[in-house]
Chains A and B, each alone.
Chain A
Amino acid sequence: MTINPDMKYTKSHEWVKEEDGIAVVGITDFAQDALGDVVFVNLPEAGDEVVAGESFGDVESVKAVSDLVSPVSGIVQAVNEELIDAPEMLNSDPYGAWIIKVEQVNDREELMDADDYEAFCAEEG
């Protein structure tokens, strides 16, 4: 399992990377491995409001449908439309396949750095 040292992490296995006031959000390698092959992604639209700790969409794998929980509060600036036709990108490149970009970030969930997240995953097993 890989963890990207440049990102912050949630307990529900999303990653977030903030650059120039924009928060880029995706799911982790641990999450994609636990989900199995992702077959469908339900995305918000640009302009939608997201709230830290609340669902902003969902991912469906052969096993189950899981909520995507936003690590930050703000306004969706962009969604990764490529995922609609190629949800498998979340499996093959979890840290490259971003899901949404959030602007006007005004609140954050409690986030972990890479080391803490690694320990958290080890515990979850």
Chain B
Amino acid sequence: MKLIFEKSVPGRHSSLLPPCDVPAFELPETRQEPLELPELCENDVSRHYTQLCQRVHGVNCGFYPLGSCTMKYNPRIDEEAASLPGFTNVHPLAPKASVKGSLEVLDLAARYLCEISGMDGMTFQPAAGAHGEFTGVLLIKQYHDARGDKARTKIIVPDSAHGTNPATAAMCGYDVVNVASAPNGCVDLEALKAVLGPDIAGLMLTNPNTVGIFDENILEITRLVHACGGLCYYDGANLNAVMGHVRPGDMGFDCIHMNLHKTFATPHGGGGPGAGAVGCKAFLKEFLPKSALMEGEGHIQVRGFAGNFLVVVRALAYLLTLGREGVPEASANAVLNANYLMQKIKGSFTPAFDRVCMHEFVLDLSEFKKETGVSALDVAKSLIDNGMHPPTMYFPLIVHEALMLEPTETESKETLDEAAEVFRKLYDLAHTDPEYMHAAPHHAQIGRPDEVAAARNPVVRWVKA
């Protein structure tokens, strides 16, 4: 398929602009170069993007069990709310009296999300998850700095964590202390105790963790960290498993980020925008970022104004439509679906941890690979031929040949049965025709891109011939 620049024909356009009725403005000299924008008529543009759209797989195309990403279906009503002109045509610096509805959205969404997370204060500035983590750990840093405690230079991150956790700690200027997991995939309490001390600023944790298991020692973990003077940060990546049932604030966490674009009905995976709302307990509220222009100076500011406001509108619409009963029901169904699918697949592939899981589970294909020569990558690529988006591969790192499945609550029993059947078929195929699976996908637009060449010698820019 050609790039839109390659389809460009000089002089072609759609004459939709009315004649100019303001005086012409001479551009400054520094902007005299032609822009080299593609020149196409409207239906060329429309067809180009429709073709692109047909070449991808989204939640609207089929099953998308990408573990740790919560690729749930997003109800259209939330999209509709976010498209209301009263929300799309506002300016953050408009007089407050003219945007009372928008301000109420921010206020109400903050109150509901505080209730769900067990926090006392909330900011919507962070643009997405990792940005939220960064903001959350900055709260911890400001807290220690404000007390004059400069000795705390380390953040604890378990080895099952998302890669963004150690990256966040490093970006905030902390040294990362990695703590090994116990054989059950949870935090090893003895290993944790061994690293606690007056140099620990805090702990970053996801619960349920990245192998889909709820850490039963969570109260002891947060107590131990607090006892040494550190704070506890909750990575809300897996909140979809517990929302409405248990609150991070009650588990002992001091601050949290929530991926509104995952858990609360904004489509994601295509580059955003997202929203990484950050909540904190009352004693950290003074350190929350504020918009200098909207709310006053003297605070950190991680992004302009109120963040990605329309994502907050979607989240509020989602919460209002689900309500007090619907929110816990959604997470209960997410957990039920994951356990159902795990049990159905268990006859062929092997779960890494054979126990009741939360909203996602991990398959360990290392024995299967020894037996058949077919890798987790081969299975993932073969799933594409069967109309399914592959699960997350080779993550978490503590499981070798990992496939991580998160079906989410929005999939029906029929979809899960079909998916389990596809896995069973591929399991058999690996034993009879492994070569076919090494070469999969056979029916996709793109087969196996050369990932190694792409990583070693990336070509990220198209240059006009």
**Chain A residues close to B by CB (< 8 Å):** 34, 37, 39-40, 60, 62-67, 87-88, 125
Measured between beta carbons, the chain B residues less than 8 angstroms from A60 are 455
Closest to A91 in B: B452
Q: How far is the CA of A88 from the CA of B400 in the complex (A)?
A: 22
B396-429 vs A, CB cutoff 8 Å, 1 = contact: the mask equals 0100100000000000000000000000000000
Establish whether residues A62 and B397, one from each chain, have CB atoms under 8 Å apart when the complex forms.
no
Establish whether residues A39 and B394, one from each chain, have CB atoms under 8 Å apart when the complex forms.
no
The listed residue (B178, B366, B400, B451) touching A62 by CB distance below 8 A is B451
CB proximity of A3 to chain B, nearest CB, Å = 19
B107-125 vs A, CB cutoff 8 Å, 1 = contact: the mask equals 0000000000000000000
Closest to B175 in A: A54
Measured between beta carbons, the chain A residues less than 8 angstroms from B366 are 125
Measured between beta carbons, the chain A residues less than 8 angstroms from B147 are none
9 pairs, A vs B, C-beta closer than 8 Å: A34-B400, A39-B455, A39-B456, A60-B455, A63-B394, A64-B394, A64-B397, A66-B397, A67-B178
Establish whether residues B455 and A62, one from each chain, have CB atoms under 8 Å apart when the complex forms.
yes
A-B contact count (CB 8 A): 24
Establish whether residues B452 and A39, one from each chain, have CB atoms under 8 Å apart when the complex forms.
yes
Establish whether residues B456 and A87, one from each chain, have CB atoms under 8 Å apart when the complex forms.
yes
Closest to B455 in A: A39
Q: How far is the CA of A39 from the CA of B457 in the complex (A)?
A: 9
CB proximity of A38 to chain B, nearest CB, Å = 9
Measured between beta carbons, the chain A residues less than 8 angstroms from B394 are 63-64
Interface residue? B163 (CB, 8 A): yes
Interface residue? B234 (CB, 8 A): no
List of 7 A-B pairs having minimum Cβ-Cβ separation, nearest first: A39-B455, A37-B452, A63-B394, A62-B451, A39-B456, A64-B397, A64-B394
Closest to B167 in A: A65
Measured between beta carbons, the chain B residues less than 8 angstroms from A64 are 394-395, 397
CB proximity of A56 to chain B, nearest CB, Å = 13
Establish whether residues A65 and B163, one from each chain, have CB atoms under 8 Å apart when the complex forms.
yes
Q: How far is the CA of A64 from the CA of B394 in the complex (A)?
A: 8
* Interface residue tally for chain B (C-beta within 8 Å): 13
Establish whether residues A40 and B400, one from each chain, have CB atoms under 8 Å apart when the complex forms.
no
CB proximity of B96 to chain A, nearest CB, Å = 46
B16-56 vs A, CB cutoff 8 Å, 1 = contact: the mask equals 00000000000000000000000000000000000000000
Establish whether residues A62 and B163, one from each chain, have CB atoms under 8 Å apart when the complex forms.
no
Measured between beta carbons, the chain A residues less than 8 angstroms from B393 are 63
Measured between beta carbons, the chain A residues less than 8 angstroms from B400 are 34
Closest to B397 in A: A64
Q: How far is the CA of A62 from the CA of B400 in the complex (A)?
A: 14
Q: How far is the CA of A37 from the CA of B455 in the complex (A)?
A: 10
CB proximity of B456 to chain A, nearest CB, Å = 5
Measured between beta carbons, the chain A residues less than 8 angstroms from B451 are 37, 62
B269-287 vs A, CB cutoff 8 Å, 1 = contact: the mask equals 0000000000000000000
Q: How far is the CA of A67 from the CA of B397 in the complex (A)?
A: 12
Measured between beta carbons, the chain A residues less than 8 angstroms from B452 are 37, 39, 62
CB proximity of B179 to chain A, nearest CB, Å = 14
Closest to A34 in B: B400
CB proximity of B229 to chain A, nearest CB, Å = 23
Measured between beta carbons, the chain B residues less than 8 angstroms from A125 are 366, 370
Q: How far is the CA of A26 from the CA of B412 in the complex (A)?
A: 50
CB proximity of B157 to chain A, nearest CB, Å = 12
Measured between beta carbons, the chain B residues less than 8 angstroms from A39 are 452, 455-456
Establish whether residues A88 and B456, one from each chain, have CB atoms under 8 Å apart when the complex forms.
yes
**B414-453 residues at the A interface, CB under 8 angstroms:** 451-452
Q: Which of B163, B370, B394, B456 has the most CB of A within 10 A?
A: B456
CB proximity of A31 to chain B, nearest CB, Å = 13
Q: How far is the CA of A125 from the CA of B395 in the complex (A)?
A: 18
Closest to B458 in A: A39
Q: How far is the CA of A66 from the CA of B163 in the complex (A)?
A: 10
Task: A39-B455, A125-B366 are known; give 13 further A-B pairs, CB within 8 A.
Answer: A37-B451, A37-B452, A39-B452, A60-B455, A62-B452, A62-B455, A63-B393, A64-B394, A65-B163, A66-B397, A67-B178, A88-B456, A125-B370
Q: Which of B163, B394, B455 has the most CB of A within 10 A?
A: B455
CB proximity of B266 to chain A, nearest CB, Å = 28
CB proximity of A54 to chain B, nearest CB, Å = 9
Q: How far is the CA of A116 from the CA of B178 in the complex (A)?
A: 26
Establish whether residues A40 and B455, one from each chain, have CB atoms under 8 Å apart when the complex forms.
yes
